[in-house]
Amino acid sequence: MTYRNPTPTVDIIIELEDGIVLIERKHDPVGWALPGGFVDYGESVETAAIREALEETTLNVELTQLLYVYSNPARDQRQHTMSTVFIAVASGVPRAADDAKDVRVVDPSQLPDELCFDHRRILSDYVEFKRSGSRPLPGGDR
């Protein structure tokens, strides 16, 4: 029997003094996104988040919070993914590397128009979490 399961991914909201880190993707879908990627076989989501942050931004991060798990089948046009989203802190200056064409530190209230995947929704939930201390509730199309 063949199973068709969602593919596990991670996204990381990296907080710096001046804002959060976004990367410009080199590959489809192109546009701005949170750093992140696929969890490797035998790897925990925490390890994957730290690895992906370093690979794409050159920043060593410390994971501080789990925001939510996003699993809407339409969140990634390529395939059904399920993303564990972490909040992390780092210091230093991010540099684009690996799958990142560019990197930018932005105020979460001033996001670029071209955000990939469901990252606008994720960042809206992040802003609400920072304001209220409440994480998203289960349900809906997350």
Q: Does residue 105 lie in a domain region?
A: yes
Residue 134 has pLDDT above 80, yes or no: yes
Reference 142, options 86, 71, 67, 78; nearest CA is 71
Q: What is the pLDDT of residue 1?
A: 80
Q: Does residue 142 lie in a domain region?
A: no
Write out pLDDT tens, residues 110-122.
999 999 999 999 9
Write out pLDDT tens, residues 63-73.
999 999 999 99
Q: Does residue 107 lie in a domain region?
A: yes
Share of the chain above pLDDT 70, in %: 100
- What is the C-alpha to C-alpha distance for residues 82 and 87, in angstroms, rounded to an integer? 17
Q: Does residue 114 lie in a domain region?
A: yes
Residue 140 has pLDDT above 80, yes or no: no
Residue 82 — φ and ψ, nearest 5°?
Answer: -130, 115
Q: Does residue 45 lie in a domain region?
A: yes
Q: Does residue 91 lie in a domain region?
A: yes
Q: What is the CATH number of the domain that holds 57?
A: 3.90.79.10
Q: What is the pLDDT of residue 73?
A: 95
Q: Does residue 41 lie in a domain region?
A: yes
The whole domain housing 102 covers 7-132
Split into its structural domains, the chain has a count of 1
Q: Does residue 106 lie in a domain region?
A: yes
* Amino acid type, 84: T
Q: What is the pLDDT of residue 95?
A: 97
- What is the C-alpha to C-alpha distance for residues 97 and 139, in angstroms, rounded to an integer? 35
- What is the C-alpha to C-alpha distance for residues 22 and 121, in angstroms, rounded to an integer? 14
